[in-house]
Amino acid sequence: MVNDRFADIITKLNKDTGKFYQFKESHNPRLPADYWFQQPPEGFTLFLVLYTRTCRWAQCLGCNLPSLVSCYDVPFNNIMKQVDYIFDFMLSSEQKTDLKKIILSNNGSVLDEDTFSTTALMYFIAKMNMNCPNVTVLTLETRPEYVDIEELEVLHRALQEGPIAANLEIAVGFEAFNDRIRNDVFRKGLTLDVFEAMVRKISKYGFRLKTYFMLKPVPEMSEEEAVADIVKGIDYLHTIAVNYNIAVNMHLNPTYVAQGTALETAFKNGSYVPPRLESVEKTVLAAKGKAISIYVGLNDEGLAVPGGSFIREGDDAVRERLMNFNQSGDYAVLC
């Protein structure tokens, strides 16, 4: 495959951030990259990752999600074929009827038209409207800089045309609350000013907000510092929810050691250890009584190095409690 300028830039950014994974160029571009189901309190949910060109930011320290997609352009017609496969072959009739929510991802920014075709996105909504009569929420993962309110207005109008008027939820990666950890160490490139400007935009239309946080995302954080950082994030999101009258969810991911990243290097030289599930449980309890909901990510998507998962021997009981919490939203099931 002939190289291009985009691929050269991404390769350099990965190298500068200590990443050494490979992209999945062998993947059939007419099939989605990955998918799985969730059962949160709001109902049966499909988490869908479409196979597109990789995220343009490419600098987040411990992220190897782009290893499931391509460094090269994936034309809109191939992405539309992925959509056809999902609704025509992948989902059963019962699943299509039962679905209440779909989270749409490309392990980057669905709203970045340079990596995810707008034509394909509109096609996805049309197929969803035709096939999933009970979906009430469509979540779009993106970096805030790609949130264009005029585009969201069009997407929202399209969602109103389904059997049930569905709402939009915008999902952004926040990762850590501490500014230095988030931007100087993890290299997220997200300021609170940019985040809140996006919140102001979407709150005016009643759209929902989902934020991804990572417990202990960088080597220099102790277990206690990592928990304290997420607790500060919970308090901040509570204030956002109240001040902007917006529904907010924190998707809390305990960090796993992602293959081909600087975290793998740190893990192998003994300077990084993934967080404990007991710390996850403790952190979740800090959200009790706050104006936000929480969902705990318990899936490393097969991208962790051997021994680099946050799930250890003897974790069955706490994992079971967290899974029950995910389904019920009831803090009483936690210790």
**Which pair of tokens denotes residue 168?**
């939009």
Cα–Cα distances in angstroms (integers) from residue 21 to residues 11, 15, 151, 216, in the given order: 10, 10, 33, 21
- The Cα diameter of the chain in Å comes to 56
The residues of the chain scoring below 70 in pLDDT are 1-3
Residue 48 CB contacts under 8 Å (≥ 6 apart), including other chains: 32, 35, 86, 102, 103, 104, 105
3-state secondary structure of 36: strand
Sign of the alpha-carbon torsion through 204, 205, 207, 211: negative
In 72-205, beta strands by DSSP E: 101-105, 137-141, 167-175
In 218-325, beta strands by DSSP E: 248-254, 293-296
Number of H helices, E strands in the chain: 11, 8
**Complete domains list, the chain, with CATH:** 5-333 (3.20.20.70)
Q: Which pTM does this prediction carry?
A: 0.96
Residue 182 is predicted with a pLDDT of: 98
Give tens-digit pLDDT for 262-299: 999 999 999 999 999 999 999 999 999 999 999 999 98
**Which pair of tokens denotes residue 190?**
């997200």
Residue 3 is predicted with a pLDDT of: 52
